[in-house]
Structure 1
Amino acid sequence: MIVADVLRQQIAEHEWTPGDRLPSRLQIAEECGAGENVVRRAQELLISQGVLEGRAGSGTYVAEPRSRVRVVRSSAREQPGGSPFCSDMQALGKQGHWTSRTEAKVPAPVEIARRLGIADSGLCVRTVYELTAGSLVVLPEGGPHAGVGHVNRMAELGVTVSHAVEQPEPRHATAEEASLLGIQKTALVTHIRRTYSSDQGRPVETADIVIATALCEIVYEIPISRQ
């Protein structure tokens, strides 16, 4: 049995309970007949899965169990008259809040320019959001159209958004993301690249959404059309 499985079993059998400090890596290594580096990698894996948590200068502890929020990705979210994020939070019985920072006429990074079909370093509007649960149209969170969602903002400009494409992939959180999300730097996140296109087939907005895997499960709802 690999070290991660041994540690997970000991927690499941209540040898250690939430809040308990684990023995030293040397002690675990001796008990498991493995090297300290193997134990370190096992602990890092369990930290990324939310089973353990590391505390700087203190050691490794059994994490408190945290219930995961279900995040449903569906075309039903994109309805006129409101924010998809606020609708999601209302469905969970919570109030949606966010902070944002917008910069206008900034050069698009190469990846963003590729998604939008514009020249490298072409100018765009960049907004960074931090969403929590507890302007002019071109400035997403300013003025009379703040918080109404992308589809509605584009409609005010005479642009009809016809569809969006999402590309999810798992990876480890960056230091900045971990700090914002309140998770370990090695924790797993799901990075969703979402691009909206108009009915003319032109990409009009692209977004990077980062969700902590230990806190949220992502579910895709697929509408079925009947003849």
Structure 2
Amino acid sequence: MSLDSHFRSSVFLIIRVDQLIGGGSDISVIYNGLDASDFNHINEQRLTEFTNNYALPDSFALAVGHFETRKNYPHLIDSLAVLKQRGFDVPLLIIGNNSGEREKVEAHIEKAGLSAQVSILSGLTDEEVRCAYQLCSLFIFPSKYEGFGIPILEAMAAQRPIVLSDLPVFREITEGRSIYFDTNNAEAMANSIELALTDTQQRTVMIEREFNFQVQLNRVG
């Protein structure tokens, strides 16, 4: 089957397709999108209910994605252990359904001594997930591989500071203006998380960028 006139969600995917077929494809990029206004219509009462229902702390980092190997949750847990050794406890909420790796991640959390610091939620409604984005202090996306990354758009729509794996597709989505880390280096990931949570100027710049992104989405919509 010819790949001419097919569409992909990122330039990164087009490059990968060309590598696989030896080049010469005529593929256009149509980026995935979402309605940013969905993240602006959650009232304070609903946010409070969500916090109380799941006993969430006042401040927490958020990761969203199913439990599978490429999501790289063990390295994320290791980075929190590094931060804990520095005296910097970062509560983490992971939202995702089980794709075969949840038990391994839970065992890793327990082994790292972070059971009281890391929470896992599955089977949430879309509105509940949006509540989590609105409430989190930081969004972390540690994947080793993605063709795109809808959770990144969701975090941007919610105007949350973001730290990401240093993947070409993530730099493409965020236009190279987020904080990136080596996916296999827990120390580097810890440094990025600490920077995003403690550097007020950096956080302000990121949040302003998310606001501009949200305005662009609303114009498109």
* Pairwise same-fold verdict (TM > 0.5): no
Between Structure 1 and Structure 2, which shows a larger proportion of helix residues? 2
Output the TM-score relative to the length of structure 1: 0.29
* Higher normalized strand content (fraction of residues): 1
Higher Cα Rg, which structure: 1
